[in-house]
Amino acid sequence: MHNAIHIGKIFGINIYVDWSWIFIFLLVLWELAAGVFPQLHPQWGPGLIWSTAFVASLLFFASVLAHELAHSLVAKANGIPVHDITLFLFGGVSNIQREPTSPAAEFVMAVVGPLTSIVLGVIFLLLSGAVVAGLDVAMGNLPASLAQLDPLSTLLLWLGPINILLGVFNLIPGFPLDGGRVLRSIFWAASKNLRRATQWASWVGQAIAWILIVAGISMVFGMSLPFFGTGLIGGLWLAFIGWFLNNAAVQSYQQVVVEDLLEGVTVAQLMHANTPTVSSSIPVSSLVHDHILGTDERAFPVVDNDRLVGFVCIEDVRKVPREKWDTTTVGEIMTPANQLVVATPGEEASAALNDLALRDVNQLPVVQDGRLVGTLRRRDIMRWLQLHSGLTGRETLHLPT
C-alpha cells in the first residue's frame, strides 16, 4: 500500500506526493512570502506577495518533477520498469524497479536529471534576462530597478538560479545522489562489478554525508561557513540532509547486495510449499480458534475446489466485532483473488521481493494455472539471505521496506 497521495499519471508513471512534502512546500512558501519577495518588492501588498509565492513554490516542485521524469523516461527507454515518482521532504524520487544493465545506461540515467534542471534554469534566466534588459537599470541601484519587475518576471528570475542550484547540488558525488550514480557508473566501468562499484560509491557518499553533518553542527555552534553561512536552523537542516544521505547510501548498497545474492534464484526455491489454507465458507470464529491460535501464521490463502479465491489475515479479523465471529464467514472479509498480487514459481525472487515491498505485505501467494502451489514470505527470503550473506561478507542485511 502506498502511503502517499496519488495526484495523477504522466507518461504512464504514477505521481505521488508524500505527506512530508507538505512541510518543505510550506517552508519554501514561507521563505518566499516572508523574506525574498517583500525585500524585492516592498510596494506589493500581502495578497500579491503570498499568491506569487504560492505559484513560485508550485512551479519549483514542478521543476523537481521534471527532473525525476527525465530519470524515469530514460530508464523506460532502457527497458527498466518505473512504477512511480514520489515528491517528498528532500525533493523527489523515482521508483525504478531494477538497476541499469550497463555503466553507460547508468551514466545517462543519472546525468539526465541534473542536466534537465540546469537547462530549465538557463531557460528561465534567459526569459527573465530579456525582461531585466528592458528595465531602466540605474547604476548602483539594482534593487530599485528589480522592484519594477512584474510577478511573472519575478517568478522567472527566481526559478532560474534555484533550478541551476538543484542541478549542481545533485551532481555532488554523494551516492545515491545523481552525482554519486555518475561516480558509480565510472567505478562500474573500471571494475566490471556492480556490487563493488556500489560499495565504493556508497563509501564516498557516506564520507560526504558526514562532512555535511559536521558542517551543520559547526554552524549550530556559531561557525560561519562559505556559501552556507551560520545559524541554528541552517545548521540543523544541513546536518539533517547529511544524516539522510548517509542512511540512503547505506541502504542503497544493501539493496544491491540483496539483488546480487538473489540473482538467479526463483520463487520456487524460497517459497513455503506446505501452506495451510482455509475455506471461504468457514466462520471467522473457526479461522481464529482452529487456524490462527497456536500457530505463527498471520495470513492464510483461501482455497475452494483447489482454486485460490482470496487471502485473509489477522487485520481482516480485527475489523469484525467479536460478537459477529460466528455469523461472519471468511469469504465476507477476505481480499478476493482478483485484487491480489501473486507470484509464479519460475519468477525471479528479487522481482517478488519488490512486490512485497511495494505492496507493504509480508507474503505473496504463489500460483500456477490458477492453483495455489505455495506462499512466499518475507521471512523465507530473509532466512535465505542470512544463510548466503555469511559466505560473501559481514554485511548486515535488511529487506526493502
* CATH number, domain with residue 293: 3.10.580.10
Long-range contacts, 260-264 (Cβ 8 Å, 24+): 260/194, 260/195, 261/385, 261/388, 261/389, 261/392, 261/397, 262/348, 262/349, 262/350, 262/353, 262/381, 262/385, 263/350
Flag whether 196 is in a domain.
yes
Flag whether 401 is in a domain.
no
Q: Give the residue-averaged pLDDT of 10-22.
A: 87
Check whether residue 113 and residue 205 sit in a common domain.
no
Check whether residue 12 and residue 135 sit in a common domain.
yes
Proportion of the chain in helix, strand, coil states, percent, rounded to 5: 60, 15, 25
Check whether residue 126 and residue 29 sit in a common domain.
yes
**Which of the following is catalytic: 31, 68, 259, 347?**
68
DSSP 110: H
User: pLDDT by residue (tens digit) across 137-168?
Assistant: 444 454 555 666 778 888 888 899 899 998 99
For the cut 90, the answer to whether the pLDDT of residue 133 exceeds it is no
Give 241-265 as a DSSP string. Answer: HHHHHHHHHHHHHHHHHHHHHTTT-
Check whether residue 272 and residue 238 sit in a common domain.
no
Cα(155)–Cα(360) distance, integer angstroms: 40
Q: By CB neighbour count within 10 A (0-12 exposed, 13-18 middle, 19+ buried), where does 39 fall?
A: exposed
pLDDT at residue 393 in the model:
43
- Which of 171, 196, 221 marks a domain boundary? 171
Check whether residue 55 and residue 165 sit in a common domain.
yes
Cα(69)–Cα(63) distance, integer angstroms: 10
Check whether residue 104 and residue 23 sit in a common domain.
yes
Query: What does the block give as the cell for 3?
Result: 502511503
In degrees, to the nearest 5, what angle opens at C-alpha 349 toward C-alphas 343 and 354? 80
- Count of CB atoms within 10 A of residue 218's CB? 17
234 or 137, which is more confident:
234
pLDDT at residue 70 in the model:
93
Q: Please state the pTM of the whole predicted model.
A: 0.73
- Which of 261, 290, 324 marks a domain boundary? 261
328 or 349, which is more confident:
328
Flag whether 40 is in a domain.
yes
Structural domain harbouring 197: 180-261
Cα(53)–Cα(188) distance, integer angstroms: 43
Query: What does the block give as the cell for 108?
Result: 545517462
Flag whether 14 is in a domain.
yes
- Which of 243, 261, 279 marks a domain boundary? 261
Query: What does the block give as the cell for 217?
Result: 553542527
Check whether residue 124 and residue 249 sit in a common domain.
no
Check whether residue 111 and residue 165 sit in a common domain.
yes
Check whether residue 51 and residue 138 sit in a common domain.
yes
263 classed as catalytic = no
Flag whether 396 is in a domain.
no
Check whether residue 157 and residue 242 sit in a common domain.
no
pLDDT at residue 355 in the model:
76
Q: Tell me the HSE value of 49 on the side-chain side, using a 13 A CA sphere.
A: 18
Query: What does the block give as the cell for 173?
Result: 558525488
User: pLDDT by residue (tens digit) across 251-292?
Assistant: 888 878 887 788 788 888 888 888 888 899 999 999 888 888
45 or 142, which is more confident:
45
Domain count, the chain: 3
DSSP 40: H
Check whether residue 235 and residue 272 sit in a common domain.
no
Flag whether 310 is in a domain.
yes
Flag whether 117 is in a domain.
yes
User: pLDDT by residue (tens digit) across 167-224?
Assistant: 998 898 888 889 999 999 999 999 998 888 988 999 999 999 999 999 989 988 888 8
Query: What does the block give as the cell for 137?
Result: 537599470
User: pLDDT by residue (tens digit) across 64-91?
Assistant: 999 999 999 999 888 888 888 888 876 7
